[in-house]
Structure 1
């Protein structure tokens, strides 16, 4: 249910993003860069298609605890159950979010949402693909109390959808609203890397939790907010965006000699390193005035990546609607093809000529599947007109790909 509602809400998200883009241009505030926005949207798409499987685990754990360990059986038709569920969920989200900034294990998942050096509505859709691995633990008190599964899923969706609109610089301070609810003003602070703003304003819907537990700070008019992370990603690769912190922490855990440090590094704050590794190399310093990551893209590159992303977005929407009705093997192949496409787009935006081969193979897979099986991922028969359209799309894509990228100087590389 969750992914389908997000899927059908996506057109509204894109309309609002377009509206914000127009307003920003009229105000002479160009807050969108194609490469950054495509990267954020790619990460959002990836989180949804991978989350279609990973969220089954987190929801399954909630259902298991609810069935065997719940203290009460709360009715799903009570208004007070819904209100209290939303309040409790938001309270627990505050602590998950706060711990997500204070422990490496959770930061490794949450960092994805903070990597963009822009702040606009596309940033709201920039979500992690690994969050469901551990985040479910924080919501088990709701299952123990006995909130029904459908209530839990619904309030989680409400909390998530609410947070979309606060990712904008086009809405200023809102007076009393800023003191009670999460708003664009105090959420801008949360995304800042300025020293005074770091690790503040963790609330989802209510900022009251931050006021109660000492993590609230008001946005100051005279301070220019700088967005991103203290260790900038500097890549458009959506796979690397999801794995960079895991890789960094794993590498340190592997090389440190202390077994205690190998374990505790996962629960330590981001940036913490074992003493023996600190002695070997000095900690890197953060430059708040660093240049924004923005590799040059030609118009042809830009349009190729935009068109391919739009095509992948349609395929991802189809996948989220049908994945439960096809075999697990075909769903896995379909998912892998989608992820590969998002990975290739990120690499091509970095002018990575080495992505020519995987992008060619991705398109050829569809072309050959279309011509040899007359089906879409061996699950949906294609009519003759659709086959012809798909063949033409693949051939045009291949021609455009090689004409645009085969002579470009390389910039990107496989790890990033």
Structure 2
């Protein structure tokens, strides 16, 4: 396991500890900071982002390393404090422009939108990350390579910038005085995540909010206008695959309907929401209305507990997946990644009460129980210990047996259905 993965591995328990503290503080204040379905969806999208990251390192770090080796104007020492400080400052500056373009260019918004889809604002929202951002985000950091910032320095300052932004995703910390005027803070970032006209597309800074003040994109949070979170085209789904694909899909459909080739291209390059006149006339969309309620389909309590337990198991598997990333074969990693993503998608469908989800989930847990026991192996592990195989079979076998009972509607749900 290399340095970035090691840091993320050690940071993850701290993330969950802080989430627990935030949950406790909110409860003591009489606030509801979390919804189980939303938090699982956000963390699940973070899992998928980490899984994708295992396969995208060659693209992101590989291109950077090549540019630093062949295009660097200077040879900067990796043991200089000034190099590290300058690299962090320049990285945060580049991040500002990546983040800003992510709100002003539809192709980049298609990736970044994942981070904004949650209608709640808490520390789990910080973990809600895109799976497709790696495709173009590396372009914005090439100035560091051209200036000769060593790969090791680049990777670490990128992690510092990312980890800093975790704590600002909370409503439990208020104004911080002078700190709010210099740094990205919870107050500044709450405004960034809001869909209110006053706050829309503001406060892009990662560590420093100074960039927003310099380039005219800063807005202060107003106590008289609380932020309303989400996007202006609400996701209204717990499907992590659709969360990553929705803007790409809608843009591709509009591009297909557009009559002029110029408009087909501009749909990807214009700001989010822009549509050619002919497309808007033939396929109108309703105007944005400030949401009055959050997406929260009812789920039986027993089924939600089941989903939470299965989600916890998948988090444990993800930790194992990330740990074996440097040693397992590509085929094993791809198979494991597919299993994890498919499993998270099925759990999302269960929380949406899709009719097919119970059957697919039953098949998933049944195969998870039987295959390790029968084959004596697990993803990347050729010879699985018999006791571990038996434990897997017991846990998932019991899940398969319990699932049909958990999915039954309660008597109150049945009465409500009959009334409708």
TM-score by length of 1: 0.96
Query: What is the distance in 2 between the residues matched to 1:407 and 1:32?
Result: 24
Task: Map residues 299-378 of structure 1 onto 2, 5 A cutoff.
Answer: 299-377=301-379
Match of 2:277 among 259, 275, 278: 275
Match of 1:414 in 2: none
Query: What is the distance in 1 between the residues matched to 2:380 and 2:216?
Result: 55
1:195-235: CA deviation from partner (whole Å, max 9, x where unpaired): 01000000000000000000001111111210000000000
Query: What is the distance in 1 between the residues matched to 2:114 and 2:57?
Result: 17
Query: What is the distance in 1 between the residues matched to 2:19 and 2:105?
Result: 32
Contact 2:369 2:394 in 1 (8 A): no
Match of 1:46 in 2: 48
Contact 1:3 1:48 in 2 (8 A): no
2:15 is equivalent to residue 13 of structure 1 = yes
Match of 1:395 in 2: 397
2:219 is equivalent to residue 228 of structure 1 = no
Query: What is the distance in 1 between the residues matched to 2:300 and 2:119?
Result: 21
Query: What is the distance in 2 between the residues matched to 1:407 and 1:329?
Result: 40
Task: Map residues 197-216 of structure 1 onto 2, 5 A cutoff.
Answer: 197-216=199-218
Contact 1:353 1:406 in 2 (8 A): no
Contact 1:112 1:242 in 2 (8 A): yes
Match of 1:150 in 2: 152
Contact 1:74 1:148 in 2 (8 A): yes
Unaligned 5+ residue runs, structure 1? Answer: 411-416
Deviates more, 1:394-403 or 1:301-310: 394-403
Instruction: State how many pairs are aligned.
Output: 410
Query: What is the distance in 1 between the residues matched to 2:330 and 2:32?
Result: 44
Contact 1:94 1:203 in 2 (8 A): yes
Query: What is the distance in 1 between the residues matched to 2:152 and 2:94?
Result: 17
Query: What is the distance in 1 between the residues matched to 2:37 and 2:366?
Result: 25
2:176 is equivalent to residue 174 of structure 1 = yes
Match of 1:78 in 2: 80
Query: What is the distance in 2 between the residues matched to 1:14 and 1:378?
Result: 27
TM-score by length of 2: 0.95
Match of 2:4 in 1: 2
2:238 is equivalent to residue 239 of structure 1 = no
What is the RMSD computed on CA atoms of the aligned residues?
A: 1.5
Query: What is the distance in 1 between the residues matched to 2:388 and 2:283?
Result: 58
Match of 2:99 in 1: 97
SS of the residue corresponding to residue 381 of structure 1 reads coil
1:353-386: CA deviation from partner (whole Å, max 9, x where unpaired): 2112332232233223212221112524222221
Deviates more, 1:315-324 or 1:54-63: 54-63
2:113 is equivalent to residue 125 of structure 1 = no
Query: What is the distance in 2 between the residues matched to 1:311 and 1:332?
Result: 19
Query: What is the distance in 1 between the residues matched to 2:216 and 2:171?
Result: 25
Deviates more, 1:155-164 or 1:371-380: 371-380
Deviates more, 1:397-406 or 1:271-280: 397-406
Query: What is the distance in 1 between the residues matched to 2:202 and 2:241?
Result: 27
Contact 1:369 1:377 in 2 (8 A): no
2:190 is equivalent to residue 184 of structure 1 = no
2:366 is equivalent to residue 383 of structure 1 = no
Contact 2:104 2:272 in 1 (8 A): yes
SS of the residue corresponding to residue 32 of structure 1 reads coil
1:140-169: CA deviation from partner (whole Å, max 9, x where unpaired): 010011100000000000000000000001
Contact 1:179 1:207 in 2 (8 A): yes
Query: What is the distance in 2 between the residues matched to 1:199 and 1:343?
Result: 30
